[in-house]
Structure 1
Amino acid sequence: MKRKLSFSLIAMLFGLLSVLGGVSAQTTTYDPSLVHKNGAMAYEHMNYLAYEIGKRVAGSENERKAETYIKSQFERMGFKTEVQEFSYTRRGTAYNSSNIVAYKPGKSTKQIIVGAHYDSVDKGLGVDDNASGVGVMLEVAEVLKNVKTPYSIVFIAFGAEEVGLQGSNFYANQMSKTEIDNTVGMINLDSLAVGDNMYVYGSEGEDGFIRDQALEIAKKKKLNVGTNPGLNPHYPVGTTGDWSDHAPFKDKGIPIGYFEATNWEIGDKDGYTQTEKHGSIWHTSNDTIDFIEEKFPGRIEEHLSTFSILLTDLLKFMNKTSTAK
């Protein structure tokens, strides 16, 4: 398969990190130069999850393989990392899943949560939904690992999103009042690769500062990122629905930001129809790199690069003076 061949040309330097940093010899490593090209490292992570692991259905062996991969990547970067196990019941059957949590200290003890789910449905390979979000999160984590950010950052790969936001609900419900009060905001990354337009959403009112600052950065850097235009009265300008991992944090009163690629101007104008040419790609057999690159040449690279630049700068410069220490 061509994807596995291209991947092998870049990665798989076994044993190096066990000598240099004590990380497992089985950790997949990458050419460090990828970090200096926006979106390139995100692409490799996305490719690995989709083509080396495959479908990552919640509660499956492949979801566990993805957990191991993501944990090893955070550890390779030098982050304090833990796996948060949880179980859930669906249609009378019990399942196990997990969240992978990596902590990056910042200038302030206040924290920002950045999350992306790593499970997928049993159609396609989960490239857009949501290996793309995990890829961007891992790339940005690596870019920022030695950068003093205004706030501490908690990077979380959520399990079992596709079966009721199980991972994000579990994490949010474990948070103490002190931790909730200490959290400046939560930024969710979901389905970034294929939609016609790139968006950032946020909370309503003053709590929409994450979205607003992201839009300012996008304007300054001439990034092609906008927000929900509010054509559907059920979803006011700049907001979105409660269908992804931001929702449990929003319910706790934590301001949210949400990066996504879709098209709010077509279909029912609810953000579910991603493209004019081929409708929705997520949750279909078309959610593969091969299909997306054939039908939308260059789109994956453009989107991963854009979202990586935007998230990196947002985390480097985001401020909320009323909560900063």
Structure 2
Amino acid sequence: MNFIKKLRSFSIFLLLLVSLILLAACQNSADNKLSMPARYGNGGRALAVNFAQTFPERYAGSEQENSAGDWLIKRLENLGYNPQVDDFTFTDNSGKQLASRNISVKIKGTGFEYTGSNFAVKTTLNSVNERFILIGTHYDTPIKDKQAVDTVSATGDGIHNNAAGVASLLTIAKEMQRDRPAYNVQLVFFGAGTQHFAGAEAFLEQMSVSDLEQFEAMYNIDKIYAGDKVYAHAGQNSVIEGLKKSYEKRKKLYEMTDVYYNYMLLTNNDFSLYTNQNIFTVEATDFTEPILFREWTTHLGDHTPFDQVGIPIVFLESFEYDVESYDELGQESTDPTFNVVGGIIDCSNLDSSAFLNDYYQIAEEEKQENVFGDTKTTETEQEDNDSDDPDKMDVQSLEELRNNRQIDRLERRINNVAFLIIKSAQRGDNDFVPKK
């Protein structure tokens, strides 16, 4: 009888032990998923589609642009913010005067701590903690003056320009409440961005001298969905002459690429961030000799007014810069599907949430089938993943890598662009670390 009792007790103990092991394994799996970078879910994607389809004709100064602004204000209020709304007027391309609005919120940063031993540098800490970054995107969309008549019917609602950018900035607004910036941050949704960046011009004009003195950098998110690759650029103000560049003006770009590599976004998320790495020169009116066309772009946007007054900028867009000469530059996408609009989806009826979402879903499924075969995890792979070696980097199984690819293009780009900026807002100079 005692033997049976002992056996029963041992069985219960063994069952509890196995249950605890399984529970711990499940918890570790859940923790790993939560700790993966840029795993913000499909909320940003849903916002982009909803915004584009609800306000497809949100042209600068239009009633729909005004309604889109009301929608943004409500979303920001739902996140707990108190948005500031600044009205401005602008003259459109036809000479007509119209009205629009900039919508912004401020986020207090944690500040930095100085961990170095240079007393002179330490005395600058207070001034560093007063500095702020501006993150912006425009919420209007251009008139679709190109119609791809040879393609399936598509109604351009501006998912590419610039509902995806709006959704990425809203994602930043949400996630910065949890993953706080070190710098003070101002998020701005610019109105009338397609009219010579009128909203950005108006915003800059109302800034005080002290604001400009504390201005660390400006990040601009624009047209990140349909182009072949996502690029980050420094400003034109980072070019000195010939092959020379200003490190101080490009430092924020380099910090962002550090974030990209440190968090292994290609491996973890199947997301690639590019910089323009061309090795040819271009003529420029402000320079006496040709300048190297590398790590910056001639594309204008909401970053341009800030670039022109010497503020360091990082401009994010999707395009194709893999060309042999400047004359070859011009296509957002080299995909033959978009030949009917010259490779430029922007300003065409193919800038359509219905068309692009369906097209990229099919295209990425076909690409995935070509890349992956049998996704069964081998015993060797499982042993590698279960290793307790603290110096060994986690290795994802083939199945996990395939799951990463099942995150669709729009969600992937919205979330990873947001993540890059969130983490960049936590990076200071050497020996300056965010306060806990």
Normalised by the size of structure 1, how large is the TM-score? 0.83
Residue of structure 2 aligned with 1:226, choices 274, 295, 308: 274
- Identity level (%): 24
Paired residue for 2:295, among 238, 252, 256?
A: 238
Matched, 1:158 2:193: no
Contact 1:39 1:306 in 2 (8 A): no
Q: Match for 2:171 among 133, 139, 143?
A: 139
- The letter of the residue matching 2:205 is N
Match of 1:304 among 384, 409, 414: 414
SS at match of 2:423: helix
Q: Does 1:76 align with 2:78?
A: yes
3-state DSSP of counterpart to 1:264: coil
CA–CA distance in structure 2, aligned partners of residues 271 and 138 of structure 1: 31
Aligned residue number for residue 373 of structure 2: none
Q: Quick one: distance in 1 between partners of 2:232 and 2:274?
A: 6
- Residues 192 and 303, structure 1, Cα contact 8 Å, conserved in 2: yes
Query: Per-residue displacement from partner, 1:285-314 (whole Å, max 9, x unpaired)?
Result: 000122212332232232223212212222
Distance 1:261 1:69, change over 3 A: same
1:319 aligns with 2:423: no
Give secondary structure in 2 for the equivalent of 1:307. Answer: helix
Determine if contact 2:171/2:415 at 8 Å carries over to the other structure.
no
Structure exhibiting the larger radius of gyration computed from Cα positions? 2
Once residues 328 and 205 of structure 2 are traced to their aligned partners in structure 1, the CA distance between those partners, rounded to angstroms, is 28
Tell me if the contact between 2:250 and 2:312 (Cα under 8 Å) persists in the aligned partners.
yes
Classify 1:256/1:271 alpha carbon distance in 2 versus 1 (closer, same or farther; 3 Å).
Answer: farther
- Contiguous gaps of at least 5 residues in structure 1: 1-35
TM superposition shift of 1:269: 6.2
Amino acid at match of 1:307: V
Q: Distance in 2 between matches of 1:86 and 1:120?
A: 18
Structure 1 position 60, deviation (Å): 0.5
Give the structure 1 partner of residue 358 of structure 2. 294
1:19-77 alpha-carbon deviations (Å, 9 max, x no partner): xxxxxxxxxxxxxxxxx843622212211211122221001010001101111112221
Match of 2:46 in 1: 44
Tell me how far 1:271 sits from its aligned partner. Answer: 5.8
Shift of 1:232: 5.4
In structure 1, distance between residues paired with 2:275 and 2:41: 21
Stretches (4+) displaced over 4 A: 266-271, 321-325
Equivalent pairs counted in the alignment come to 289
Equivalent in the alignment of 2:331: 273
The superposition leaves residues 219-245 of structure 1 with CA deviations (integer Å, 9 ceiling, x where unpaired) of 122231010123553372111125100
Larger deviation, residues 115-124 vs 285-294: 285-294
1:169 pairs, out of 187, 198, 201, with: 201
CA contact (8 A) 1:39 1:136 kept: no
TM score, norm. by length of structure 2 = 0.62
Q: RMSD between aligned alpha carbons?
A: 2.3
Alignment check: 8 A CA contact 1:199 1:260 kept? yes
Q: What secondary structure does 1:140 align onto?
A: helix
Residue by residue over 1:197-216, the C-alpha shift from the partner in whole angstroms, topping out at 9 and shown as x without a partner, is 11111132221111101101
In structure 1, what is the equivalent of residue 217 of structure 2? 185
**Amino acid in structure 2 at the alignment position of 1:86:** F
- Long gaps (5+) in structure 2: 1-37, 112-128, 145-155, 239-245, 266-271, 283-291, 362-407
Report which stretch shifted further, 305-314 or 252-261.
305-314
The offset of 1:272, in angstroms, is: 3.7
CA contact (8 A) 2:181 2:422 kept: no
Q: Secondary structure of 2:131's partner?
A: strand
Aligned residue identity for 2:249: D
C-alpha distance in 2, partners of 1:243/1:219?
27
What is the distance in 1 between the residues matched to 2:416 and 2:62? 32
SS at match of 1:258: strand
How has the CA–CA distance of structure 1 residues 261 and 270 changed in structure 2, closer, same or farther, with 3 Å as cutoff?
A: farther
- 1:249 paired with 2:306, answer yes
- Does residue 1:198 correspond to 2:198, yes or no? no
